Structure 1
Amino acid sequence: MGKGGASGDSVGRKICKSYTYVFIWIVLSFSVIVYNKYILDKKLYNWPFPISLTMIHMAFCASIAFLLVRILRLVEPVSMSRELYLSSVVPIGALYALSLWLSNSAYIYLSVSFIQMLKALMPVAVYSIGILLKKESFKSDTMANMLSISLGVAIAAYGEAKFDSWGVILQLGAVAFEATRLVMIQILLTSKGISLNPITSLYYVAPCCFVFLSVPWIFVEYPLLKESSSFHFDFFTFGTNSLCAFALNLAVFLLVGKTSALTMNVAGVVKDWLLIAFSWSVIKDMVTPINLFGYFLAFLGVAYYNHSKLQALKAKEAQKKAAQVDEEAGRLLDEREEDGLGKKSELQN
């Protein structure tokens, strides 16, 4: 009875911890999205400089990571050669820079709710790019699922009250670059046995990302900022915004590390619905019935995709366990045969 109670308490604590990780990630992700929208939107804070904002984030994250790794030595750096850095980290940093730049730019033209609807295309982009780079195998049922998600997003876009084609292009570009980055991480780092936690990831990637962003910044935003003599750097606004972005990176690692990537995907759906509700009720963005219908179709497609991935993962784990059992049984059989031969040899002697 006591053991059963202790086991129940242990399971209860694990469930509570999992929900806590989910809650922290949702709050931080929600905060970063709304905060970025607030800063970049011309009707709110009115600072429409997405490259500059992203560079501030990267500079802040790189500085904190350098402090933790090199000064305080609280985190061990990953052993990485110059060749590996140039061939693996630099391309990932370039893709990350493009993804952040375009996604932050989209907030100037699109509502928070519509951006979340467009982000539902992420599984489609990851699967398609995975096929192109030969990391995924083509399956007709999975492709049909991808088409259903795309159809739902297309309906949501058709019903968008304040549709902006340039904003849509920016967000779709951000999705494409982010999906490519995720696939390239598997190809360039994971396949080589390199695993980066959020601190070491920012330590290596953030400076690279900052350098890539500085090139378009010099030509696109620096001249405008130079002319805007009325602008004064708001340390509180940009400091707290950067701190939220840094904390979000830690929360992602905490959620995936302590639960699973699938849990994060499910939590992401909850976050998207909360953002849509917030965008409609607080920011007063217009959300039409066609918007919601289209996104609901896309949501069903994403939910089915996550369910399929879960079933495939369970089947893979079951096969792995079965192989381990067969291997153990074979080892025991070999040991018994060796013992039998040994005893037979003794009797003959």
Structure 2
Amino acid sequence: MINITLASTYLYLLIYILLSSGVILYNKWVLSPKYFNFPFPITLTMIHMGFSGAVAFFLVRVFKVVSPVKMTFEIYATCVVPISAFFASSLWFGNTAFLHISVAFIQMLKALMPVATFIMAVMCGIDKPKCDVFLSTWLVSAGVVISSYGEIHFNVVGTVYQVTGIFAEALRLVLTQVLLQKKGLTLNPITSLYYIAPCSFVFLFVPWCLLEMTQMQVFQDQNEFNFWIFFSNALCALALNFSIFLVIGRTGAVTIRVAGVVKDWMLIALSTVIFPESTITGLNIIGYGVALCGIFMYNYLKVNEVRVSQQSPERMPERITKDFDEETPLLSTSRLSRIGRSLQLMHDS
């Protein structure tokens, strides 16, 4: 029985790694002008949100797989709406980066997540600046700078888009902790998509009208819309979200972190094979290695914080019951699943 359970756990981890890597590579292939040539990242993100929202609606309202949470207008307006806005922004900017920089370099830039999350957490007052944590974020930053310096095809526009998306995602994670936890809401992947995907679709609709609607009309006149490509792409993104839920139920936070690191290295290697224009230099590898050291240091410090809080009787009960993922939002796959991150997480999902 133990062997069967262990085998199924590793199977879920493998499915998660393959789906996560596959979605990222699939998005790059669809968006890249050199391949499928659909250079409309907002449109692609809207397709994902619309599809995910529709599936979630049928699962909740028609098939009644799960029950919707008690959601008032005040909670929706003050919690779901701002979280959806930054969720949409992170996906929009992250997908746009695919047009300008390689998958390998994107994965290296995503190592900045601890820096972005730490800054946003301090600004929102849910974390305090500490020397050891500050040192780990500087180590990550230094590693990313080295990787950027070693990037042969460095592109300022793509880098700005990716970094902006990282900070938007960090702020979304922090807002989730500040807003939803205060309301006592717990969203599983289905209810997350049910509430957040439609709202994110609306937020994406505005920049779509301004930036891509006219170009899309010209594109449709010159090209035939391939339904199966976009359907399979959106289906993979949805499957990734549910695979995260299965992995969280089977493994611990540390195992998920290790799986994330394995996925990142696999993506970097695969992207150079699938997309020949991607080139990895020695400085890329050295810089990313330094950044990973900073990430491991950050997680180690946060694990110790959780252990101390669990051993301190004077701490508040809700502080004691926070799990590792809630204390380390930078790489939190469980938090990502709770709020329905269907893609990007692109970086850790």
Q: What TM-score do the two structures reach when normalised by structure 2?
A: 0.86
Matched residue of 1:109: which SS? coil
Question: Which residue is equivalent to 1:207?
Answer: 198
**Which of 147, 159, 169 does residue 150 from structure 2 map onto?**
159
Query: Paired residue for 1:236, among 221, 224, 228?
Result: 228
2: distance between equivalents of 1:298 and 1:191? Answer: 33
Tell me the equivalent position of 2:47: 56
Once residues 247 and 176 of structure 2 are traced to their aligned partners in structure 1, the CA distance between those partners, rounded to angstroms, is 19
**Residue 126 of structure 2, aligned match among 135, 146, 152:** 135
Assess if the C-alpha contact under 8 Å between 1:55 and 1:210 holds in 2: yes
Determine if the alignment matches structure 1 residue 218 to structure 2 residue 204: no
Q: Which residue of 1 aligns with 2:17?
A: 26
Give deviations 1:194-240, integer Å, cap 9, x for gaps: 01001000000000000000001111101001122122221110001
The answer to whether the 8 A contact 1:61-1:202 is kept is yes
Judged with a 3 Å threshold, the aligned counterparts in structure 2 of structure 1 residues 163 and 30 are, in CA distance, closer, same or farther, namely same
Provide the rounded CA distance (Å) in 2 between the counterparts of 1:257 and 1:310.
Answer: 20
Does residue 275 in structure 1 map to residue 250 in structure 2? no
Matches within 5 A, 1:296-311: 296-311=289-304
Gaps of 5+ in 2: 318-349
Give 5+ residue unaligned stretches, structure 1.
Answer: 1-8, 325-349
* Partners of 1:21 and 1:311 in 2: CA distance: 28
Q: Structure 1 residues 56, 307: closer, same or farther in 2, change over 3 A?
A: same
**Contact residue 153 and residue 298 of structure 1 kept, 8 A:** yes
Match runs of 1:1-349 below 5 Å: 9-10=1-2, 12-228=3-219, 229-284=221-276, 285-319=278-312
Q: CA deviation at 1:20?
A: 2.5
RMSD: 1.9
Deviation at 1:60, TM superposition (A): 0.4
CA distance in 2, matches of 1:194, 1:17: 30
Deviations 1:294-348 (A, max 9, x none): 001001111222222233333433446x999xxxxxxxxxxxxxxxxxxxxxxxx
Structure with the greater alpha carbon radius of gyration: 1
Distance 2:18 2:274 in 1: 16
Q: Distance in 2 between matches of 1:137 and 1:25?
A: 33
State the SS of the aligned residue for 2:182.
Answer: helix
Amino acid at match of 1:309: K
Residue in 1 aligned with 2:321? none
1:116 aligned partner, one-letter code: Q
| Percent identical | 45
